[in-house]
Structure 1
Amino acid sequence: MHYWQVDVFAEQPLAGNGLAVFPDARGLSAAGMQALTRELRQFESIFLLPGEAPEAFDARVFTVEEELPFAGHPILGAAALLHHLHAPGSQARWQLQLREKRVSVTTQRQARGFYAEMDQGPAQFGERLSEEQALGFGEAFASERDSRYPARVVSTGLPYLLLPVTAAGLARARQQRDLDAELTRCGAAFVYLLDVDAREGRTWDPLGVVEDIATGSAAGPVAAYLVDQGLEQPDQSFALRQGRFLRRPSRLDVCVHSDGSVRVGGSVQLLAMSELLVASDSLG
């Protein structure tokens, strides 16, 4: 069984968000997928299984802790690899069925790597936090709240608490405590700190142990939030930035269409292919 290392939201190799992609994971159990993700120590890994049509695949995404119902950069990275393996033309279209959501992805070859774009569907707006609640989350990150804009839960598959902070607050942010219980109360899975003026953000796992480099599942909610606030216009593409503080600069292209659907895209670089030397049925 082969797997690939790819960089997503990366305009050149060794940038963006790294990802392990297993293009044919038949024979692997969920426990095996989880064990391999822990072994590879990527923020996320994605495992593909052939679907009912040549362009359709079932997909399972794991962090080192759990399986996710939806994710961003794994979908884009997997689609780019599928293009490399199965589509000789310059453009292709894919359907990836995750645990709770089916996602359409278009891919195209570039002079270097691939460009992949997904339709995340319409954003769902959840709880708007009080300023007291927002300040509490800001303090949890030792950050500085930007009170010009509300803190709001928004989802296109994974619910993020979008917390506007100042540029200085973004730069010095460090998660100080476990936020699981507080996030559950407001209906969010993660906190995404956003410097609105710079269109730049940061996010961590709920325990604050690992910072994500570039978060495609948050990019859609951020795009919808900025349009809702009147800071960007529908049907106009713009870019979000992430990963600067981890020395992995990442560009996430986003657009909120007038029908409400949100598209997220970026460049993907294929970095390496590896071979799994142990039998898949021995992994659990």
Structure 2
Amino acid sequence: MHYWQLDVFAERPLTGNGLAVFPDAHALSTATMQRLTQELRQFESIFLLPGDSPGRCRAQIFTAEEELPFAGHPILGAAALLHHLHAPAEHAEWTLQLKAKSVHVITRRHGQGFYAEMDQGQAEFGQRLDNATARAVADAFGLGDDHLDRRYPATVVSTGLPYLLLPVTAAGLAGARQRRLLDPELRACGAAFVFLLDVDNREGRTWDPAGVIEDIATGSAAGPVAAYLVEQGLHARGEAFSLNQGRFLHRPSTLAVCVGAEGRVRVGGHVQLVARADLLVAPAALG
């Protein structure tokens, strides 16, 4: 069984967000997928299973802790790999069926790699935090009240995975370190993760729930951020713009976003194929 190492939201190899893709995981159990993700130590891995027609497949996405109903950079990376393996044309289209929803992705060849763009659908706006709750969340990252950007409300937004978007200053973003679990606050507002957002510089940071691993580039957050910025009147519908992430991990990444006239959110980025590896242990032995 082969699996691939890719870099997503990467202008060149060894930048952006790393990803492991298993293009044919039909022989693997869900438990084995989880264990392989833990073994590979990627922020996320994606496992593809045959679909009911060409250009369609099922997909399961894992972090080291859990299976996710939706994620961004694994979908873009998987679609780019499918293009590499199955489509000689310059452009291709794919549909990935996840637990939360189906996602349509377009891909095109770009230099030695690919450019992939997904349609995340319309964003859903959830709870808006009061000042006291926003301060409590900021405190979990070692930030004080002066690090919060009070011009914009802390708000839960989702395009498949709900993020609490917490606007902070540039100094707050640079100095943030998650220092405790946020389970009570996240449960209370219906979010899965916190995304710290420097609105002026269109830059953000997020961590896994335990605060151990910082994500390099988060496609599932880019859609909510794009919708949020449009909602705040900072960008117009139909206007393409970029978000930045990964600078503090020395893996600067660019995430292209656009909220269409009808409100559907598109997120895209460059994908580089880095390596192909062989799984030497038989799948049956991993179960």
TM-score normalised by structure 2 residue count: 0.98
**Pairwise CA RMSD of aligned residues?**
0.6
Counterparts of 2:138 and 2:151, CA distance in 1: 14
**Equivalent AA in structure 2 for residue 138 of structure 1:** A
**Equivalent AA in structure 2 for residue 216 of structure 1:** G
Task: Tell whether 2:265 aligns with 1:257.
Answer: no
Q: Which runs of 5+ in 2 are unaligned?
A: none
**Equivalent AA in structure 2 for residue 93 of structure 1:** E
Structure 1 counterpart of 2:131: 131
| Alpha-carbon offset, residue 4 of structure 1 | 0.1
Counterparts of 2:26 and 2:91, CA distance in 1: 26
Counterparts of 2:229 and 2:84, CA distance in 1: 34
Structure 1 counterpart of 2:104: 104
Counterparts of 1:274 and 1:70, CA distance in 2: 25
Structure 1 counterpart of 2:160: 157
Work out which of the residue numbers 238, 242, 267 in structure 1 matches 2:241.
Answer: 238
Q: Is the 8 A contact 1:238 1:255 kept in 2?
A: yes
Q: Is the 8 A contact 1:243 1:249 kept in 2?
A: yes
Counterparts of 1:186-197 in structure 2, within 5 Å, are 186-197=189-200
**Equivalent AA in structure 2 for residue 13 of structure 1:** P
| Alpha-carbon offset, residue 112 of structure 1 | 2.9
Q: Deviations over 1:145-179 (max 9, x none)?
A: 11111000000000000000000000000011100
**Equivalent AA in structure 2 for residue 190 of structure 1:** F
Task: Tell whether 2:217 aligns with 1:214.
Answer: yes
Q: Deviations over 1:227-250 (max 9, x none)?
A: 000011100100000000000010
**Equivalent AA in structure 2 for residue 280 of structure 1:** P
| Alpha-carbon offset, residue 5 of structure 1 | 0.1
Q: Deviations over 1:78-121 (max 9, x none)?
A: 00000000000000000000012100000000113100000000
Structure 2 counterpart of 1:47: 47
Other structure's SS at 2:244 match: strand
Counterparts of 2:266 and 2:26, CA distance in 1: 30
Q: Is the 8 A contact 1:180 1:207 kept in 2?
A: no
Counterparts of 1:69 and 1:45, CA distance in 2: 13
| Alpha-carbon offset, residue 140 of structure 1 | 1.1
| Alpha-carbon offset, residue 281 of structure 1 | 1.3
Counterparts of 1:16 and 1:29, CA distance in 2: 29
Q: Deviations over 1:225-283 (max 9, x none)?
A: 00000011100100000000000010000000111100000000000000000110111
Work out which of the residue numbers 227, 230, 237 in structure 2 matches 1:227.
Answer: 230
Counterparts of 1:216 and 1:256, CA distance in 2: 14
Counterparts of 2:134 and 2:100, CA distance in 1: 29
Counterparts of 1:59-208 in structure 2, within 5 Å, are 59-143=59-143, 144-208=147-211
Counterparts of 1:50 and 1:190, CA distance in 2: 30
Q: Deviations over 1:47-74 (max 9, x none)?
A: 0011011100000000001000000000
**Equivalent AA in structure 1 for residue 2 of structure 2:** H
Counterparts of 2:112 and 2:246, CA distance in 1: 21
Structure 2 counterpart of 1:276: 279
Other structure's SS at 1:15 match: coil
Other structure's SS at 1:99 match: coil
The share of aligned pairs that are identical, in percent, is 70
Counterparts of 2:31 and 2:137, CA distance in 1: 34
TM-score normalised by structure 1 residue count: 0.99
Q: Which runs of 5+ in 1 are unaligned?
A: none
